[in-house]
Amino acid sequence: MYDIKRIRRDFDEILRGVEKRGQGDFGLLEIRELEKKRREILVQVEQLRNEQKTKSRLIPAYKKEGKDPSELLEELRGLSERISGLDKELRQVEESFEEKLYYVPNTPHKDIPLGKGEEDNKEIRRWGQPRVFEFEASPHWDLGVERNFLDFERGSKVVGSRFTFIKGACARLERALMNYFLDFHTLDGKYTEIGSPGVANRLSMTGTGQLPKFIEDMYHCAEDDYFLIPTAEVTLTNFHREEILPLEDLPVYITSFTQCYRREAGSAGRDTKGIIRQHQFGKVELVKLVEPESSFDELEDMVSDVEAILQSLELPYRVVELCSGDVGFSSAKTYDLEVWFPSYDTYREISSCSNFLDFQARRCMLRYRNKEGKVDFLHTLNGSGIPTGRCLAAILENNQTAEGKIIIPKVLRPYMGGLDEI
């Protein structure tokens, strides 16, 4: 969300930035009009209110002196009516203004590649070599069913499409991933582990930008007006919502494993096979709250944290910088990390690391006291570090043997009771 003052002062800059996404002005022109109108009414209301306050304070004095206040009361009644009328108008304008503002995406950072969609993203680097198989490699969905690791049919029966049961040693492997990822990020003290709720309220969902625009992709508990979180980004970023953090508490590095729930509205028919795109998946999420000056460096640092994990698992991957047309709603700059999937014969997204600048912080009223003692908005970042489901699929595919066994990556063996294959 944008600062109301910036809408006025840097309007053209914001408009130009947002237009880089290639989807028009997102209602900004209308928003500017509403902002003007708001100020017009506000000035009037403030003047009238001042008059009202000043005059109504005379009443106790009148009473004391035994003067008849009825004339003054009459005047104040009229004043009160005018104020409440104007106030109502003001509130309508403000509501409409705010509602529209919530739908305006962040401005893509000036240095990111211009483009319309995925095809214009820029590959930054690759690590590792895709394995050359001396046998016909199976996709994880075939392998998973053959080995009795994945049960798609019962997932559909018990819940519906895009829900899957994971069984036996494979379930243990996923659990190993969860523990390994959390240990990786926390044991050196860099990130603090948080056990997080799996649902969040409307305010939190709005704070990180899932609402109002993407409501159709969220699972909603109507009775409580709670939402199943689509990522721990929601609960972790909102953790310090409406707080003013002292400088010495920064930077905040937190991480959490949660289940994530997405209705995947609009992606019907995509990735229907396997566990790449599920309605529920486990993920370790990384969140940073940092001072504005350092946020782009912090983004690079976060990417390298995720890369280190993939390297330790010996999974070939590449880093891609998203172009202006593909970068997410709340993000100013995003790197996707894509891991090699033999079944797709390509790299597929496994992590996404973004710098949101103060976009989420404004929505969350997430602030800190800077060196000058002034209150300012923080910058927020998050990245997947990393999802267990997709990672499991990647390991099944990349580490399979001709006999259909799965080689356990060395770093995971301590979490698997020493097993080197399953």
Partner RNA sequence: GGAGAGGUGACCGAGCGGCUAAGGAGCGCGCCUGGAAAGCGCGUAGGGUGUAACAGCCUCGCGGGUUCAAUUCCCGUCCUCUCCUCCA
Burial of 311 (0-12, 13-18, 19+ CB in 10 A): middle
CB of 196 to RNA, least distance (A): 16
How remote is the C-alpha of 387 from its chain's centroid? 15
Nearer to RNA, 43 or 265 (CB): 43
Specify the amino acid at residue 44. Answer: Q
Q: Is 84 a catalytic residue?
A: no
How many degrees, rounded to 5, is the angle at CA 297 between CA 394 and CA 189?
Answer: 65
- Structure token digits, residue 109: 């950072």
- CB of residue 50 vs RNA: minimum separation in angstroms? 4
When the beta carbons of 52 and 186 are compared against RNA, the nearer one is 52
Question: Least distance to RNA from the beta carbon of 151, Å?
Answer: 25
Q: How far apart are CA 166 and CA 175, in angstroms?
A: 11
CB of 104 to RNA, least distance (A): 16
* Choice among 162, 262, 348, 363 that is catalytic: 262
Q: Is 54 exposed, middle or buried (0-12, 13-18, 19+ CB in 10 A)?
A: exposed
CB of 101 to RNA, least distance (A): 13
Rounded Cα–Cα distance for residues 421 and 400 (Å): 9
| CA separation for the pair 281, 107 (Å, rounded) | 30
Residue with smaller CB distance to RNA, 3 or 297: 3
Closest of 207, 209, 187, 191 to residue 302, by C-alpha: 191
Cα–Cα separations (whole angstroms), residue 358 to 37, 293, 330, 375: 26, 11, 10, 13
Which of the following is catalytic: 256, 331, 352, 354?
352
Name the 3-class secondary structure at 377.
strand
**Of the listed 38, 338, 390, 397, which one is catalytic?**
390
Q: Active-site residue 262, yes or no?
A: yes
CB of 203 to RNA, least distance (A): 10
Over its C-alpha atoms, the chain yields an Rg (Å, rounded) of 27
- Between 56 and 311, name the residue whose CB sits nearer to RNA: 56
CA–CA distance, 80 with 355 (Å, rounded to integer): 47
Query: Considering beta carbons, is residue 188 or 372 the nearer one to RNA?
Result: 372
Contact residues toward RNA (CB under 7 A) are: 3-5, 8, 39, 42-43, 45-47, 49-50, 52-53, 56-57, 59-60, 63, 73, 76-77, 79-80, 91, 244, 246, 369, 375
Q: How many CA atoms are closer than 13 Å to the CA of 209, on its beta-carbon side? A: 23
Element containing residue 355 per DSSP (H, E): strand 346-355
Residues across the chain: 422
User: Among residues 37 and 175, whose Cβ is nearest to RNA?
Assistant: 37
The sign of the torsion formed by the CA atoms of 24, 216, 209, 384 equals: negative
CB-nearer residue toward RNA: 84 or 272: 84
Beta bridge partners of 335: 321, 353
Place of tokens 């721990």: 232
CB of 358 to RNA, least distance (A): 12
Measured from the CB of residue 225, what is the shortest distance to RNA in angstroms? 9
Query: Considering only CA atoms, which of 38, 28, 159, 37 is closest in space to residue 103?
Result: 28
349 carries an active-site annotation: yes
In terms of DSSP bridges, do strands 252-261 and 192-193 run parallel, antiparallel, or are they unpaired?
parallel
Q: Using the minimum distance from each CB to RNA, give the nearer residue, 63 or 273.
A: 63
Residues tagged active-site:
262, 277, 349, 352, 390
